[in-house]
Structure 1
Amino acid sequence: MMLYVIVPFCALFTFTLQAATRDVKCTCELTYSETAFPHGKLSTAESNASKCNSKITPQKTLELERLLLGLERRLPQLQEDVSMLEKENDGELYGALSLQVIENEMKDIKQLIDTLNSTTQENLHLTTDTTKQLEDLKAEMQELERYDTMQVVMSKQDNQRLKTDLDQCRNGLHPTIQPTEPQHGKCPHRQFLNITGPRVYTKGEYPGSYMYGAWGRDPKPQAGKENWYWLVLMTSSNRYSNYVRLYSSLSSLIVGVSVPGNVQIHSSNPTTNTVQGPNVVLYGEALYYNCYNQDAVCRFNLTTKTVTTLQLPKGTRFNSKGNFCRLDECYPYTDLDLATDESGVWVIYTTTQDFGNLVLSKLEEGEPPTLGQTWHTPVYKQGVTNTFMACGVLYATRYIDKHMEEIFYSFDTSTGVEKFNIGIFIHKMSPNIYALNYSPVDQMLHAYCDSHMVSYKVLFG
């Protein structure tokens, strides 16, 4: 039996047996006939593979997509502005404001095209270089396979192929049943991937005058008002407002021409049922906001000019006691954050019972609105700078520095799944974002930053 054990090693080792005359002693000389494994080459291959992974990232594709989406939006807008200019022709005298808007649009489009061309060239060079590196890596790995004399790697590859064939056979016998619900909750756009750089950046009608405010679009507009925008400015002590300002187009908002103008909630500011805090939204021709001096949501009907209120649960923090904060500074009177998405209106707040953590409630439409389902999160509100909703998912942001904000947290109301590592960054045009609203009409994120209005495109996929 021992002979059968020793035989396979004869190819690798040579044994020499020496016997002394008096005491029997055995001496074994081992000669290793295999070539030493080149660990240095393997380390080099791993390093090169790591460099390839660091160069080829999803952000490269998203950057191109961001630029193409920018052109997709800007070109129709330019065409619309040119058409408006042609209508304004009055004896060969064109509107100066319209000409200014078109000039700005053309500058932005040229900048986008230049950036797109340079990015495409960079990606082309990167693709060429990476292809060469991958071919070299493949050759190195095939060279290293020669040292696999025990055929361990080859056996693993064969097993993997067999497993793949078996899986395909099983799937062929039992076809996969397609899910009846979308993979990512109820979102028609699939998963939130990223946001682009600023698409709109304007100081608007009152540059530098009102630090706090909010703006956006009505996700459920009346017929004929699909392109309208709204703006609410905190015109008293950076805390209060008593009207909503309307613009018939984005161009009108950019150049500061308000048509039809203001819709007033009350002649006094502040007073009962006027606006307190910048976190407001417009939905279905009604403005939703934190009622002045109350732990309640007000709904102002722009058509009937009437206000109805919804009392929030007992213990809800208000009057600047449950604010959004960054570092050692808080944003005053941001206790209640109203948000819109594909399904309607939401309110984000905190209560004493939740020890300052974020609470999310769905608002059901009506006059007055009613409080629907409520969710409680473990996220401390004063560690958050802003929140918004998209496709039934709550997103929270935090301050990184004066140039960057991070979307770091999400909570999916349809699945109950929460994530703390979203890692999507917002490039800011001003240090502070006081209001952040998502528009499901065009999947844009509208930010109000230190009197500037900025918008970003949300990328799904």
Structure 2
Amino acid sequence: MHFSLLLILFASPTYAWLPLEDWGSGNVTGSVGESGQCICHVFLPDTTFPADRVESVQISSNKLTVDVELHISKLISFKAQLVVLLEELSNLTLRLEVVESGPDKYVKLEFELLRIELREFEAMVTELKTSLNSSSPAFDSLYNEIRNMSMIVDQLESYDQSNLEVIRIEFAKLQKKLEKCRDEQDDFSNVQIGSCKHGGILRVGKPVVSQLNANLNTGYTYGGWGKDTNPLPGSENMYWYSASTDTVVRYISVYTDYYRLIMRQAKKTYDLYDPKKDWRGTGNNYIIRNNTLYYQFANPFSMAKYNMTSQTAEYRVVPKASNRFSYQYSANQNLDFAADETGLWVTYATEESKGKLVLGKIDEAAFALSEVWETSIFKQSVTNTFMICGVLYATRSVDIHTEEIFYTYDTHTRQESYVSIPFEKFLDFYVNLDYNPTDQKLYMYNKGYYVSYHVKFKSA
């Protein structure tokens, strides 16, 4: 008997064939047709391939590609605009710098045109930021620069011819003051540098206040500044500075010249603290000589020197020196170092002298005292001391504005005398005062300020 098999499939228009074993018995039914043929009815499950969704994804992908290409074109366009903007902004900056360089050019500037250009720049930056839908330091920097320029334009516009005339008058006054200061300085320079052919100090000039210390903090009350008293070749213009909020001596900074000192651009800062050896000191009366810092060592109580060339240190105990007697203005000023045309010195007090000031000459090669002189003044009544040509000068406070050199001791003749050489001390007290034989100036550290004085000597 011959049979023909007819399969009738009931399913969606699009479908995928399933393996025969996945066709459950419930999905297949059979019957016999009118001609005796066998008819099987197969019902496939609706797990067909989503061709319609694939087509939709392809359409979306094409659309996104077009959008990305459009945004890339915009970015290229904005990049070109940004380059133009930065170039124009740079040109405007140069224009403003030219204007600022000469007061007479203020009145010639078209201020309104500048404002229009600045507003255009700001609009372009805003457009860029909005179009890119992002923020970055570059945009913020542009905004800040534009605002700063707008403020400069406002300030410049405030200058008119009358203001310029006032400025010229003030410049003329300043020039006269500078000339007077120069003449005064020339008047004080009456003895050749390094010479001791004079009769000692005649008077001290007005305080010259350089500026606040390099830390820009009046809290750095303790410290000192000045020049090397016997500089190494090539270091003649070097300045130094050291300060702290207490009497601890740790950091010492050196500057190649006065300009670097004022600009706070240290060539190098030395740290006296080392984990292997603590070389920190105490007090304020330290100096630099031959690129070596001479200062009061903390433990044990002794004099110390730190060679900044080799960055090595050593100390020596000063025989009989006491740490109980300090100067009037500050504690821990037990050893006071000084240098003059004749060498290196240290002042202190002893228990045997009952607190009276003792002066010692230091043999620099041996780093030991070579000779000692005892004075008659009580150290705690003294505010500071310094040496000039082998003569000790001691100061004391007169009032809140006035200091006085009141005592001298000549180591050559062993003669002492009481004098009265008043000078202005800028602020009410100071912690460091030393003479420098390389320029014949007194250097004072006064409540965080750099102060100096010219010295005029008596004729020999």
- Taking a change above 3 Å as real, the CA distance of residues 224 and 458 of structure 1, as seen in their structure-2 partners, is same
Could you report, residue by residue, the CA deviation over 1:105-143 in whole angstroms, capped at 9, with x for unpaired residues?
99865324468999xxxxxxxxxxxxxxxxxxxxxxxxx
**What residue is the counterpart of 2:118 in the other structure?**
none
Match of 2:440 among 434, 438, 443: 443
- Taking a change above 3 Å as real, the CA distance of residues 107 and 375 of structure 1, as seen in their structure-2 partners, is farther
Paired with 1:336 and 1:392, the residues of 2 have a C-alpha distance of: 18
Q: Which amino acid aligns with 2:224?
A: A
Q: Please state if 1:250 is matched with 2:258.
A: yes
Q: Please state if 1:205 is matched with 2:214.
A: yes
- Offset of residue 408 of structure 1: 0.2
Paired with 1:114 and 1:228, the residues of 2 have a C-alpha distance of: 27
- Offset of residue 264 of structure 1: 2.2
Q: Please state if 1:374 is matched with 2:372.
A: yes
Match of 2:176 among 94, 101, 110: 110
Q: Please state if 1:346 is matched with 2:345.
A: yes
Match of 2:326 among 313, 323, 327: 323
Uncovered stretches (5+) of structure 2, i.e. residues with no partner: 1-95, 101-169, 185-194
**What residue is the counterpart of 1:277 in the other structure?**
283
Paired with 1:105 and 1:296, the residues of 2 have a C-alpha distance of: 52
- Taking a change above 3 Å as real, the CA distance of residues 456 and 370 of structure 1, as seen in their structure-2 partners, is same
Paired with 1:451 and 1:322, the residues of 2 have a C-alpha distance of: 24
Q: Please state if 1:359 is matched with 2:369.
A: no
SS in 1 for 2:260: helix
- Taking a change above 3 Å as real, the CA distance of residues 105 and 310 of structure 1, as seen in their structure-2 partners, is farther
The count of corresponding residues between Structure 1 and Structure 2 is 284
Paired with 1:209 and 1:349, the residues of 2 have a C-alpha distance of: 27
Paired with 1:116 and 1:249, the residues of 2 have a C-alpha distance of: 20
Uncovered stretches (5+) of structure 1, i.e. residues with no partner: 1-91, 97-103, 119-185
SS in 2 for 1:423: strand
**TM-score when normalising by structure 2:** 0.57
SS in 2 for 1:197: coil
SS in 1 for 2:359: strand
Match of 1:226 among 222, 226, 236: 236
Q: Which amino acid aligns with 2:271?
A: Q
Q: Which amino acid aligns with 2:389?
A: C
Is the CA contact 2:209–2:449 (under 8 Å) kept in the aligned structure 1? no
Q: Please state if 1:266 is matched with 2:251.
A: no
- Superposition map of 1:181-192 within 5 A: 187-192=196-201
Greater Rg over alpha carbons, structure? 2
Q: Please state if 1:313 is matched with 2:319.
A: yes
- Taking a change above 3 Å as real, the CA distance of residues 252 and 322 of structure 1, as seen in their structure-2 partners, is same
Match of 1:425 among 422, 425, 439: 422
Could you report, residue by residue, the CA deviation over 1:65-114 in whole angstroms, capped at 9, with x for unpaired residues?
xxxxxxxxxxxxxxxxxxxxxxxxxxx989x9xxxxxxx99986532446
Q: Which amino acid aligns with 1:223?
A: P
SS in 1 for 2:196: coil
**What residue is the counterpart of 1:294 in the other structure?**
300
- Offset of residue 284 of structure 1: 0.9
- Taking a change above 3 Å as real, the CA distance of residues 308 and 403 of structure 1, as seen in their structure-2 partners, is same
SS in 2 for 1:394: strand
Q: Which amino acid aligns with 1:216?
A: G
SS in 1 for 2:213: coil
Q: Which amino acid aligns with 2:305?
A: R
Could you report, residue by residue, the CA deviation over 1:318-355 in whole angstroms, capped at 9, with x for unpaired residues?
1xx21111xxxx51111111111111210000000000
Match of 2:451 among 420, 439, 454: 454
Q: Please state if 1:239 is matched with 2:247.
A: yes
Is the CA contact 1:195–1:457 (under 8 Å) kept in the aligned structure 2? yes
- Offset of residue 265 of structure 1: 2.2
Across the aligned residues of Structure 1 and Structure 2, the Cα RMSD in angstroms comes to: 3.0
Paired with 1:210 and 1:240, the residues of 2 have a C-alpha distance of: 11
SS in 2 for 1:355: coil
Paired with 1:395 and 1:337, the residues of 2 have a C-alpha distance of: 13
**What residue is the counterpart of 1:401 in the other structure?**
399
- Superposition map of 1:49-64 within 5 A: none
Paired with 1:444 and 1:256, the residues of 2 have a C-alpha distance of: 22
Q: Which amino acid aligns with 1:301?
A: N
- Offset of residue 378 of structure 1: 0.6
Could you report, residue by residue, the CA deviation over 1:366-425 in whole angstroms, capped at 9, with x for unpaired residues?
2x51111100001000110000001100000001111111000000001111111x2111
Is the CA contact 1:272–1:291 (under 8 Å) kept in the aligned structure 2? no
- Taking a change above 3 Å as real, the CA distance of residues 285 and 93 of structure 1, as seen in their structure-2 partners, is farther
Paired with 1:110 and 1:424, the residues of 2 have a C-alpha distance of: 28
